[in-house]
Homo-oligomer: A and B are copies of this chain.
Amino acid sequence: MAEFTLGELSKQLKAELVGDKSIKIIGVAPIEKAISGQITFIANPKYKAYMESTKASAIIIDHKIGLEPPLPYLKVTDAYYGFLQTFLLFNPQKKLLKLGIDQSAQVDSSSKIGENVSIGANVYIGEDVRIGTQTQIFPNCVILDDAEIGENCILYPSVTIRENCKIGNRVILQNGVVIGSDGFGYATHEGRYHKIPQIGRVIIEDDVEIGANTVIDRATMGETIIKSGVKLDNLIQIAHNVLIDENTVIAAQTGISGSTTIGKNTIIAGQVGTVGHISIGDRVQIGAQSGVSKNIPSGQIYFGYPARPIMKTKRIEAILNNLPDLIKKIKVLEKKIASLEKRATSD
């Protein structure tokens, strides 16, 4: 069983230690269940009361909460994250893939595979593919010709990456992700649709994570670009020639139409849709199920169908809730006016 001193833990978590660094910790537990020898955490001030009564030997707390626990503690930026890191130290995750290339995998001899790569069963890797060191590719993934994948990436089962696409370092692709499918483009001629060849590609930069069964189409020409630090949830649609800038986060089932650009550090909730060829700024927030049909400037909070500045949508919603009362009010006014008119006529 794993055992760490508080001093060792503070180094691992890059935490400030207050208390005896030689205290031995043999496990982690939630604050109300922890026993002597375990470390616990407080990420939310509402659990403050437990701080006095916990039997834990130490506690991980948030800098920003500003508590002074009556037991040894580690101060970190995010106590919940620190707790999970500690949990992993005591419960290391099982390595799911063996190092090396599974004998059932098919890797073209022209491809360059880095050191310490794991390639699972039934993986197909085409011609002139490059794969960086330490990358793990789970069973039944397919990577077509001339694709490039960086270092320390994880491709979970059944990910498919089409020809020419480029994936950076430390990218995580959850099960069933599709990178580089053809964009949806047709020229119409006499009532029929003729496919416009989609000859561009997809570029995914470093530290991106993409959720299960999400699809990112290749560009018609040029590139569909997902910049570094972007996080996409499950079942998202990213159309051809979209650009999503750094550290933007998008929740499940949202769809971004062709050639739209999204700025940095923007947050888009689930099931949002945007039209094509618009520009959404930096630090924008868009509420769930919104329908965005126009540019949104940086820093704005939008919500609704159609998407409007959130205060405007909320005001309209409040009025809608009171519409039945408004109708009654107007009926009262009509009666009063009729009565006033009658009176005026009879004068």
List residues of chain A with CB under 8 Å of any chain B CB. 77-78, 80-81, 84-85, 87-88, 91, 93-94, 96, 102, 104, 106, 120-122, 124, 126, 138-140, 142, 144-146, 156-158, 160, 162-163, 172, 174-176, 178, 181-182, 184, 186-189, 191-197, 199, 207, 209, 211-213, 215, 217, 220-221, 229, 231, 233-235, 237, 239, 247, 249, 251-253, 255, 257, 265, 270-271, 273, 275, 288-289, 291, 293, 305-306, 308, 312, 315-317, 319-321, 323-324, 326-327, 329-330, 333-334, 336-337, 340-341, 343-344, 347
Contact = CB atoms under 8 A, between A and B. Distances in A.
Q: Which 4 A-B pairs have the closest CB atoms?
A: A81-B187, A142-B157, A181-B212, A124-B139
Nearest to A180: B175
A162 to B, nearest CB: 7
B176 A160 contact: yes
A140 B163 contact: no
Contacts of A175: 160, 162, 178, 181, 215
A230 B134 CA distance: 40
Given A156-B162, A197-B88, A324 B333 contact: no
A158 B156 contact: no
Given A306-B317, A337-B337, 12 more contacts: A96-B163, A106-B139, A142-B158, A156-B181, A175-B215, A191-B247, A193-B231, A211-B215, A237-B253, A253-B273, A288-B293, A320-B320
B288 A271 contact: no
A184 B160 contact: no
A273 B273 contact: no
Q: How many copies does the complex hold?
A: 3
B255 A255 contact: no
B323 A319 contact: yes
A87 B181 CA distance: 20
Contacts of A94: 145-146, 163
A191 B245 CA distance: 13
Nearest to A139: B124
A340 B207 CA distance: 70
Nearest to A327: B319
Contacts of A194: 78, 81
A207 to B, nearest CB: 8
A176 B176 contact: yes
A157 to B, nearest CB: 4
